[in-house]
Structure 1
Amino acid sequence: MHPSVLVFLALGVTLTSAGTGLDAISPISTSGFQCMANMGYVFYIGRVGQSNGGIDQTGIQNIKNAWNGGFGNVDAYLFPCHSSSCPSARQQVINTVNALRNGGAYFGMLWLDVEIYNWPSDQWSNQQFILDMANQCRDMGVSVGIYTNNNNWQNIVGINWNGVAQYPLWWANYNGQQNYNGFVPFGGWTWPSIRQYKGDVWGDCNVGNVDMNWYPDGVGAPHQKYK
């Protein structure tokens, strides 16, 4: 899921050096983040909204630890819940954002995770669900991005649906390369803002089960923390 630097990328700001980061759902200590920051990692994205409709307190703590460990760019992501007992799309965003704010976990952007997992077969209703989440982010003053890839998008909403193309794309494609090679435009996106290039690996600093991410433009100094 993409750090606060992506707010700048979305606005078309030209930055300088590339950035490597990670997302993970397992707990990471402040010292773990400090170690990774010393090795050159610059951003972290933590899960907060869970697929069961709950709030991931580990993710909230990880976000705080990442800031305290020296990371300059930290975001959150929401993995939506689709069972009949789950809150509405808008309420899931409300719950996620309020949990972050009430927990003192500052974040640059909330990424909406759109991947094949319990989504209904009705693509029109799925489109509306995503629009509702994105619009609720906007109503709460939260910057929003979309995590997905071509296959997920085609199955969930249809490959050509471009209803949220105005938001940054976090593209999941595991070829192990820090580049955008192989990207085929879809959903109105002509280019990603960030790439998840490797999944479920044992990371540096003895931090396990992480996903590796990359974006081509970075900055040397931390950005503003957004509430």
Structure 2
Amino acid sequence: MAKAVKDVQLQDAVLWLDVAESKYWSGDQTANRSTFTGLLAAYKATGLTIGITTAQSVWEEIFGADYTAASDLPLMFGRADGVASLDGFTPFAGWTTPAAASRRSGRAFSKPTKTSSRTLTPCAPAWS
């Protein structure tokens, strides 16, 4: 999949990996970490810009609070309160500052709020 995305030549796009809904992951955090580490390595090898979309509670349930393997990547953190704002962000998993915030509308994320001087452009938005 990463090769197919790269072949489309999305040079300035951010490929957001959505880590959500623990029901799609194993109940074993060690296995989840191994799977995710392999996934990150494969995508990073393509040279694409990768970002993570998740919420702290989801991340910690799937991987554990001490898993920081993606902390070098931009974070778009999910807010369930309907507010697309960086206010109230609590550092987790090695992220000290998010790149963007999104608000949930039902189960889908709404469009992200631009929150830095760098424009964050999802490559395949599935937002409502």
Where on the TM-score scale, by shorter chain, does this alignment land: which range? 0.7 to 0.9
Match of 1:162 in 2: 68
TM-score, length-scaled by structure 2? 0.77
Match of 1:106 in 2: 10
TM-score, length-scaled by structure 1? 0.46
Contact 1:197 1:214 in 2 (8 A): no
Contact 1:146 1:169 in 2 (8 A): yes
Contact 2:53 2:75 in 1 (8 A): yes
Contact 2:15 2:49 in 1 (8 A): yes
1:218 shift after superposition: 4.5
Task: Work out the percentage of aligned pairs sharing the same amino acid.
Answer: 24
| Residue 210 to residue 183, structure 1, CA distance change in 2 (3 Å) | closer
| Residue 219 to residue 147, structure 1, CA distance change in 2 (3 Å) | closer
3-state secondary structure, aligned to 1:212? coil
| Residue 214 to residue 124, structure 1, CA distance change in 2 (3 Å) | same
| Residue 98 to residue 165, structure 1, CA distance change in 2 (3 Å) | same
CA distance in 2, matches of 1:147, 1:161: 15
Superposition pairs for residues 1-227 of structure 1, below 5 Å? Answer: 95=1, 97-102=2-7, 104=8, 106=10, 108-116=13-21, 117-200=23-106, 211-218=110-117
User: What is the RMSD of the two structures over their aligned residues, measured on CA atoms?
Assistant: 2.7
Number of aligned residue pairs: 119
Unaligned 5+ residue runs, structure 1? 1-94, 202-208
Unaligned 5+ residue runs, structure 2? 122-128
Q: Which amino acid aligns with 1:214?
A: T
3-state secondary structure, aligned to 1:136? helix
CA distance in 2, matches of 1:147, 1:210: 9
3-state secondary structure, aligned to 2:48? coil
What does the per-residue CA deviation read over 1:153-211, in whole Å, with 9 as the maximum and x for residues that have no partner?
1110002211111111110113233321221111111111111124259xxxxxxx772
Contact 2:30 2:63 in 1 (8 A): yes
3-state secondary structure, aligned to 2:111? strand
1:152 shift after superposition: 0.5
- Stretches of 4+ moved more than 6 A in 1? none
- Larger C-alpha radius of gyration, 1 or 2? 1
Contact 2:6 2:46 in 1 (8 A): no
